[in-house]
Structure 1
């Protein structure tokens, strides 16, 4: 599984983000390209300690535990998975602003590749170093594929 901590993968993701344009059209889902760029920032902000979400209730923790491994394995995520409430973006977003913010966060995350220990993920709990890098890559890859990039 690719990891956003890997320099080649980091470059690949940046190149793919830079292929997006304001007119990029999704193949599935409801978000427009600017909304997707904003949405992709939230998991990176959580990993960087710049955003928090409410910890899930007992039932949701069990649900998350059941599909935790799918967050960082080699199998692509299915289309139209439900979006966590705290990550939904429903208002119109400025493409350039959101793209620049996402690129900065991708770079910030990659710069922190030397940081081996992170706080537990609010929904998935403890993740290893490799799992954090894989999770962040997989989420970005999922949404870039959503826009055929």
Structure 2
């Protein structure tokens, strides 16, 4: 399975991120390219322990989280369209500097080479192993890049 902890996978994601520009259009969903990249930045910074570290597992996650995590990390099946972003990761601002956000995202992807937040608790899935984090982080970024056709 692809994992964000693999350098070749990080390089592939970085090349795809480089293809995003101001005129990139979503093939599904409500976010524009700026919102999508900023959403990915916020989410990856959270996974790496750089922000939103105070989020706790939701009640429904305590019931269904482990089952959903297992189904999302058991194979290379891409994430489905229409997955909810979560309130903490919804980007309300509609415009900004895409190039700056793209560079931030590439830096966050590179930072997975030195990942050290193994106590990470996802707000829905709960406690995740490093292997699960690697697979899901890849799938999350891949999902949004596919959303914009790259």
TM-score normalised by length of structure 1: 0.88
Q: Write the distance in 1 (CA, Å) between the matches of 2:57 and 2:128.
A: 16
| Equivalent in the alignment of 1:145 | 146
| Equivalent residues in 2 for 1:5-84, closer than 5 Å | 5-52=5-52, 53-73=54-74, 74-84=76-86
Q: Say whether 1:133 aligns with 2:134.
A: yes
Structure 1: runs of 5 or more not aligned? none
Structure 1 ranges of 4+ moved more than 3 A: none
Question: 1:34-93: per-residue Cα shift (whole Å, max 9, x none)?
Answer: 110000112311222111253134234223333112332322111122221111012123
**Structure 2 CA distance, aligned partners of 1:54 and 1:130?**
21
Cα deviation, residue 2, structure 1: 0.3
Scaled by the length of structure 2, what TM-score is found?
Answer: 0.88
Is contact 2:37-2:105 (8 Å) kept?
yes
Aligned-pair Cα RMSD in Å: 1.7
Correspondence for 1:111:
114
